[in-house]
Structure 1
């Protein structure tokens, strides 16, 4: 049973004609946490977010927020707010009027809505730009306006649809920190859709990995990364090799694979590619059965004894670092 500020999905399904976009998923989001819905394009994550927001109808199942079924309610009556990927700012309105817009639609008088808008602008550090138009702002500033506009309704849950995708890489990393800090300050749930593993790991208290319209795995960010349950999760999260052994399929982190000269007790491999990554060097090799294994070697260690494509090497690892996959 949902309690206050819990968001729960009960057998939520979305069909578009004969296509099943979301297939009877169940999940309970913990209150006041940052959750990332993570998965490849077309896996159902954005459809799930839009159903929670009320921008897509639920074909079957229920969405509960604070113990009440909000599945049939319009977006404004749910206790959620959505921040869109393209920000959707009104070009002819000032920053302050963009932020205050939803309060204007509710009939809140000018003085009160501007006072509240100013509070939101202070929260996202845009007070000095309140009278500018959106076109006079940078991409990061526009994003913060969209964030303030979503937060002015005092939602229980803020929904973010790939909010960082339009930003350059440097600004994206900076905005990750701002979003995480804001979520902690506000103490409300953020649910953030992304296809970026790094983004999810940096932001999320919980990661929900989706694939082919279902939830493949959900859990604390560190648990999902370190203990993937399926081949898909291990490969999609990155940083892992999936190796077929007689006992089944196993995941092993790329930084847990060691390289030596071929000797008894190591697995014979041939180097196929080497990629310098700054602090580490990624060394791709091929073992028996045409399987590929990546080893992430500290930069200084690699250049002490470098290897090149075509070299024969030995791979070894501690058996305790092998993680058996269930599917």
Structure 2
């Protein structure tokens, strides 16, 4: 059910000459949710984000926010704010002046904009560094300043273009938790572009998977990961084997595949092609007689009790109830 504060894409299309970057997509983003646009490079996710922001023109279709078509409005008049991948902080301004810059452009008096900037810096735990220059900050600190600067305009929708890609892996995980916390505290709709499946699963209330300029599937992280609709989604989200079973293409979770040992019945016979230790488990990759690759995730204790080597032939088994049929 739609509410007036929904953001809706209606037959949204973007062409560059004869190239179609976004092809007739329709989607409703519920208010006060964290949404991740997920997909490989070139799938259309960043172009979609930039059209919502007003940094790309719309070829066809509309963008409806709060009941109004904003697709022809300038960026500052849309009720959206965008945080760029590079953070794009002004190097000659202090942290506080960076955050308050948009209010200065609107003619807000100095005392009011300083007070608002400090409130936002307090929200992102950066008030103590208000007088620093951007060059004196770490990557994670710069990101928080960029977030505060985007939020000071009180947008209905905050747009984030791969905001964690410049951070090291440890900081990326920490900032994920902070982004989610910030979204919950502000109640603003966050739309976050990423090509990282783990990032989308950790952050999103809704995952929107894009491929070849269209939306392949949208739903909760559990729905999209656990019940992929297409072969592309199953392969891209990871954790699944895509095989032919009963004459149909199906997805089968890697943790649902067992190695049939000691005379146990096997569903298929396969030849081991690779072994990868993953800490609490071992990924055993094999190729079936049909030439299909199947990965079985074996608990590390069970694997090392009966080690397997590449080149060996083994039986693989799974319960039929764990098989998920895919759309053609």
Same fold at TM > 0.5:
yes
In angstroms, what is the RMSD of aligned CA positions? 1.1
CA contact (8 A) 1:274 1:281 kept: yes
Aligned to 1:320: 321
Aligned to 1:151: 151
1:298 pairs with 2:299:
yes
Q: Deviations over 1:166-209 (max 9, x none)?
A: 00000000000000011011111100000000000000010000
1:285 pairs with 2:321:
no
In 1, distance between residues paired with 2:7 and 2:124? 25
Q: Name which of structure 1's ranges 40-49 and 285-294 shifts more when overlaid on structure 2.
A: 285-294
1:91-110 correspondence to structure 2 within 5 Å: 91-110=91-110
Q: How many residues align?
A: 327
In 2, distance between residues paired with 1:49 and 1:265? 48
In 2, distance between residues paired with 1:178 and 1:263? 48
1:207 pairs with 2:207:
yes
- Three-state SS of the structure 2 residue aligned to 1:289 is coil
Q: Deviations over 1:234-287 (max 9, x none)?
A: 000000000012431000110111112375443111111000111111110010
1:308 pairs with 2:309:
yes
Aligned to 2:35: 35
1:117-156 correspondence to structure 2 within 5 Å: 117-156=117-156
Q: Deviations over 1:70-95 (max 9, x none)?
A: 00001111111000000000000000
Q: Deviations over 1:108-131 (max 9, x none)?
A: 010000000000000000011000
Aligned to 1:240: 240
CA contact (8 A) 1:2 1:65 kept: no
TM-score, normalised by the number of residues in structure 2: 0.98
Tell me by how many angstroms 1:30 deviates: 0.7
- Three-state SS of the structure 1 residue aligned to 2:28 is strand
Unaligned stretches of 5+ residues in structure 2: none
Tell me by how many angstroms 1:313 deviates: 1.0
In 1, distance between residues paired with 2:276 and 2:114? 53
In 2, distance between residues paired with 1:2 and 1:53? 21
TM-score, normalised by the number of residues in structure 1: 0.98
Aligned to 1:256: 256
CA contact (8 A) 1:89 1:134 kept: yes
Q: Deviations over 1:93-150 (max 9, x none)?
A: 0000000010011000100000000000000000110000000000000000000000
Unaligned stretches of 5+ residues in structure 1: none
CA contact (8 A) 1:271 1:312 kept: yes
In 2, distance between residues paired with 1:12 and 1:128? 43
1:43-54 correspondence to structure 2 within 5 Å: 43-54=43-54
In 2, distance between residues paired with 1:183 and 1:100? 20
- Three-state SS of the structure 2 residue aligned to 1:27 is strand
Tell me by how many angstroms 1:300 deviates: 1.4
